[in-house]
Structure formats: structure tokens, C-alpha cells
Amino acid sequence: MNVEILKEFIDNIVRYELVYGIQENLDALYSSLEELVDAPQEASFQNGVSFNLDFLAGSVSSFKMEFSTRDRQRFLEIRAKNYFELSFVEEIRSKIIENPLTPAVVADYVRKLNQDRKSYFENLVLLSDSLLKIGVEVIDLEPGETQVGFQIPRTTFDNNLDGLIKELRAIRLIVRTFSEVATGKVEEIEVGQISTSDPLFLLAQSTPVVLSIGYAVKWAIAQWKLVEEIREIRARTAQIKAFTDKEIKEIFDKKITKTIESAIQEKVAELLEKSPMDELRKKEQQKGTSDALRSLLARVERGMTVEIRMLPHSIVQDGSDVNEVKDESQEMTKLRDLRTELTFPTASENPVLPLPSPDPSDNGYNKPKK
């Protein structure tokens, strides 16, 4: 990720850490464990540990829901997983179960974890401040503005500029198609941040359009998993000598193709039925919508990921200096929930679908290996 995305990510970590109070709850758990060490038979102290542990788990779960599946990978990249995931809470729980008669062992473990976590969090705050001082600023979204990001694996275009241009044109066609299907018109596509390594392009679109693309991506992931199940059965069947290669292709390859085409046509019908376009335009867009879904599915199969970017929750004060999350529109809530559901599988080494090109004369420019 580039430094702007890193800074925005860190700022959101700091923001939601303060909202959900993970560190405060970890402090409370450690205090209750110290009390238990002094009086291990005291039932109220035992209950206090249990209560504070559950409360800590709840705050971590709420914190986690504020971040996309791509963000969860970023937690790994900045080595933050052990401080912001439920895994560290479950590790504490395991220590308690393993040491029922020696709470001092658990208290010592939590004390060290607490110190390490505070040190790590302080470093995050310091890094964010340092980035700001050297001129690294985040491109802020306006209230209600949403973006959809497409991350293109370099293996898709082999570091070739023409290939990258084709991928960007394909993404443009996907976005334009879902823009018209969702709203009845084609919105302008504004480019936001761009990150390198595997290129990530963030594109500004309205909430309905981003929702439409997000649900289509969720559909594509589900279809990919279904095809993988069929291919796993195919691979096991290929080991049975009673079946010839021809028979296996007849049974499974046709089944995979039929499954994909049937799923695409069903999705096209579903999307166009809900679309505000007039009936004539819906008929004209049947092929375009089908092509967009096929293009999206082929690219997800090859490792393209999609993420949703939106403003963090608005934070308000309730009069007692406790941060609370402000209510938001139903569409934004759906979008916030959806971005946590886009869990992408590992890219297939032997993709089923050819990779459609935005150039009709060059369709299928990256066909599956035989």
C-alpha cells in the first residue's frame, strides 16, 4: 500500500480504538486478574475476570466490523493482528483455562501483552503524526461519498502497459454497466488514490452504484467457490482409471461451463428486473450486463480484488464524554456491512473463463491454459 493509504488506515485504527476502548477494557481485565491473584477463591473476583474478558471480546468484535476484508490483510502487513483481532482475546481465554489454579501466570501474560500493545499503539500515533509533518495527507471523502477500489494482479497483465490499459478499460466497462443498471444513467468516474505493487485504483461512484458492484462481486466470489468444488471432484475423478480424459471433460468441463452460463443469465435477469432503466434499454443492456458479469467473474478468478471505501462512522458526544457511533442512512449501513463480506479466495492457477477484453476484436486475449 502507498503511504496515503497507510496513513488513512492508521488514522482509522486510532479513531476506532478510542471509540470502542479496547485498551481500556484490556486494562480493566488486567486489574481484575490482579485482584484474583490476591484472593483466588473470591467468587466476585472470578466473575469480574469473566465479565471483563467478555467485554473485551465485544469491543474487539465491534472494532473489527469497522474494517473491510482488505483492511484485515493490512493488519497483517503492519504486524497489528495480535493486538486488534479476536485471536489475542482467545489466547487470554486459553491461558485462563490452562491455569485455573494459578491466576498469577495469566496476570503476568496479560501484563506483558498490555505493555506491548500500548507501545505498539503509541508507535502508530507517532507514525501518523510523522507522516503528516512530512506532507503526507489523506484524500478525504465528502459526506455521503463512496469509492470502489479494484486491485489488479500484475500476473494478469505481465507488467505490460498495453495489458494494464486493457484491464483499466475492462474495469471502466464494468463500472459503467453497473452504474446504468443501478441508477438508470452512467455516472462520471472520478479517480481517487492509486497504489502500486499490485495496482489499486480507487474510483468515486454514488452509493447505489458501489452497492451494485459490491453485490455483483459477492456473487462472483460465490460462483467461483462453486466452480472450485466441481473442479475438486473432477481432480479426484481423474485419478480413477475407469474414467478416460474424454469422459471427464464431457462430464465436468461441460458442467462447469453450463453452471457459469446459467448463473450469469440468472443474475442478469435479477439485475435488470430491479433496474430503473426503461424496458427497451433493459433489452439492449442484456448482453452488456452479461459481459460485465463474465468479465468480473473471470478477473476475480485470476485474483482481482475489490474493496469499498467510505467515510468512517460519524462520532458524537453523548454528554458524558463517551464516544458513540452516529446513525447513518440505510444504504450506507448496507455498504458498511457488505465490505466485511467480500472475502476473496486464492487466485486459480488454471482459470476456467477466458479473460474478456474491452476490445471486441481482441476478445479472450488471455485465455485459460489448456
DSSP 10-63: HHHHHHHHHHHTHHHHHHHHHHHHHHHHH-TT-HHHHHHHHHHHHHHHHHHHHH
Per-residue pLDDT tens for 32-89?
Answer: 988 888 887 778 888 888 899 999 999 999 898 888 888 888 888 888 888 888 889 9
226 and 109 co-located in one domain: no
Question: Residue 13 has what pLDDT?
Answer: 92
* Dist CA 226 CA 138 (whole Å): 39
* Dist CA 305 CA 225 (whole Å): 15
pLDDT over threshold 50, residue 90:
yes
In a domain, 73, yes or no: yes
221 and 265 co-located in one domain: yes
The DSSP code for 188 is P
| Distance separating the N- and C-terminal Cα atoms of the chain | 34
Which of 73, 107, 133 finishes a domain? Answer: 133
* Dist CA 177 CA 187 (whole Å): 10
Residue 27: which domain range? 3-133
Tell me the whole-structure pTM to 2 decimals. 0.74
Question: Residue 327 has what pLDDT?
Answer: 56
Averaged pLDDT for residues 159-186: 91
181 and 256 co-located in one domain: yes
Which of 107, 133, 159 finishes a domain? Answer: 133
Per-residue pLDDT tens for 113-145?
Answer: 999 999 999 999 999 999 888 887 777 777 778
Per-residue pLDDT tens for 277-296?
Answer: 999 999 989 999 999 999 99
* Dist CA 235 CA 222 (whole Å): 20
In a domain, 35, yes or no: yes
In a domain, 140, yes or no: no
In a domain, 368, yes or no: no
68 and 107 co-located in one domain: yes
- Return the number of other C-beta atoms located less than 10 Å from residue 290's C-beta: 17
pLDDT over threshold 50, residue 200:
yes
CATH of the domain at 75: 1.20.120
Q: What percent of the chain has pLDDT over 70?
A: 91
171 and 255 co-located in one domain: yes
Q: What percent of the chain has pLDDT over 90?
A: 34
In a domain, 338, yes or no: yes
pLDDT over threshold 80, residue 1:
no
Which of 133, 157, 174 finishes a domain? Answer: 133
Total structural domains in the chain?
2
Task: Report the Cα 256 to chain-centroid distance in Å.
Answer: 27
281 and 163 co-located in one domain: yes
In a domain, 369, yes or no: no
Torsion-angle region of 23 (φ positive above 0: left; ψ -120 to 50: alpha; else: beta):
alpha
| Structure-model confidence comparison of residues 39 and 168, the more confident one | 168
Question: Residue 3 has what pLDDT?
Answer: 81
In a domain, 272, yes or no: yes
Residue 364: which pLDDT band, with cuts at 50, 70 and 90? very low
Per-residue pLDDT tens for 72-86?
Answer: 888 888 888 888 888
* Dist CA 179 CA 256 (whole Å): 29
Per-residue pLDDT tens for 305-340?
Answer: 998 888 766 554 444 444 555 556 788 888 888 888
352 and 212 co-located in one domain: yes
289 and 173 co-located in one domain: yes
282 and 167 co-located in one domain: yes
161 and 118 co-located in one domain: no
Averaged pLDDT for residues 202-219: 92
Answer whether 30's CB lies under 8 Å from 53's CB.
no
